[in-house]
Structure 1
Amino acid sequence: MNTEDLINLISEDTRRPVNLSKALALATAAGALVAGLVFFSVLGVRPDFAQAIVTVRFAFKFIATLALFFVAASLMESLIRPGEGTTARRWLLLLAPALLIAAATIELVVTPAGLWESRLVGHNALHCLTVIPVLSLAPTVFLFLVMRHGAPDHPGQAGAIAALASAGIAATLYASNCPDDSPLFVATWYPIAILIVAVAGYFAGRRFLRW
């Protein structure tokens, strides 16, 4: 195709451009809704949720998971627009890990050393490593469908960030079911599950978000 043909083709394209901000918001909501429906159909919140939510350790889990979600979600749009940098704001991704490290450190200080291993291992490590990736699937798919309308300079990074936002949704849902509230458990197993999702998102982004 020569230059003149390309110009004519572009001039004939009357499709309305996608409003990426609105589309990403709708995709996030739709993905969260589907993940929520799956979660409440299969698992649901823990029986003592009303009592647990007023405790610091249980409530902290939601602070950490929602911090991950909001930071990752705030980065998605700029990552799928060519030439828009997010280098400075990417440092905000360290917020959730910093919160987990701080909480785990406090737990180590106030907990006898003999209890460290049991608190870290908990009772639901395998459950955590399974549920968070599974619940992340629907939000990731919805976000990828929208992000394909963009033109990311780094498709792998864009895919990883979308996966992190999805994992934030999934981890928030799972936290309401998980009976392990120890920061040692949360700081160990939640990040491993989220890393699995992020790595999968990175390679999926390289494959499906190229332009």
Structure 2
Amino acid sequence: MNTEDLIQSLSSDVRPVRRYALGCRIGAGMIGGGLISLLLVAATLGVRLDLFEAMRGFAFWMKWTYAISLSILAIAATARLAQPEILPLPWLWLLCVPVLLLAGIGVGELATTPSELWMALWLGQSWMVCPWLVLGLSLPIFLGLLWSFRRLAPTRLRAAGATAGLAAGACAASIYCLHCPEASAIFVLTWYSLGIGLAAALGAIIGPRALRW
């Protein structure tokens, strides 16, 4: 059998892929994992009692916008890396934008706060547990993405694992906002980002093994 005949025989029964199959597959994994993380927050940590009041203020939307903007960019990168062909990611630098904007808000906070209160502003009341809670809440979402990848074909496994972990961590941080009472930008920039970074690092470590096909 020559090469052309072999290719023809292998491709004769291949079904066409639906146009939005990639997005649906990744979305299903993230939504499933996100619902589990949401239930974990409600059942173990508890939704803050003043949530509706907090949603009228700037601090809640600052945290939520930071987390959700990182997650959107990370999901887009994950979708690119889930495909076998090497697609460029020239817009990946946009991940720096929400970080820099939040840093600017944090500098403004420090400028208007007496220096003796800077440490309290930075550490808040939950700095020791915040990154670990974000990391823990990211695990169901990351597992959902691993399920999504079972029918996908990534070739850059470490990069795909890292972006999947980043997406899971950022989504987990947005869910954690429902519980977290902290209102400082410098707190969010440090401890939320640390939790998200730990999730990305975990994805980069696990990716080469868990995403192999």
Common fold by TM > 0.5? yes
Partner residue of 1:144 out of 143, 146, 153: 146
Aligned residues: 210
| Aligned position for 1:66 | 68
| Aligned position for 2:10 | 10
| Aligned position for 1:52 | 54
- Measured in 2, the distance between the counterparts of 1:24 and 1:80 equals 9
Residue 120 in 1 paired to residue 122 in 2?
yes
TM-score (norm: length of structure 2): 0.88
| Aligned position for 1:154 | 156
Q: How far did 1:99 drift?
A: 2.4
| Aligned position for 1:90 | 92
40-49 or 64-73, which deviates more: 40-49
Letter in 2 for 1:128: C
Identify, as 1 or 2, the structure richer in helix. Answer: 1
Report if the CA contact (8 A) 1:75-1:89 is conserved: no
Deviations 1:68-100 (A, max 9, x none): 111111222111112242321211221221222
- Measured in 2, the distance between the counterparts of 1:6 and 1:209 equals 28
TM-score (norm: length of structure 1): 0.89
> Equivalent pairs: percent with the same residue?
33
The alignment partner of 1:88 has SS state of coil
| Aligned position for 2:183 | 181
Letter in 1 for 2:153: A
Report if the CA contact (8 A) 2:28-2:148 is conserved: no
Report if the CA contact (8 A) 2:131-2:191 is conserved: yes
Q: How far did 1:11 drift?
A: 4.6
Report if the CA contact (8 A) 1:75-1:86 is conserved: no
Report if the CA contact (8 A) 1:67-1:95 is conserved: no
The alignment partner of 2:91 has SS state of helix
Unaligned ranges ≥5, structure 1: none
Q: How far did 1:10 drift?
A: 3.0
CA RMSD of aligned residues (A): 2.2
- Measured in 1, the distance between the counterparts of 2:136 and 2:42 equals 13
Report if the CA contact (8 A) 1:156-1:206 is conserved: yes
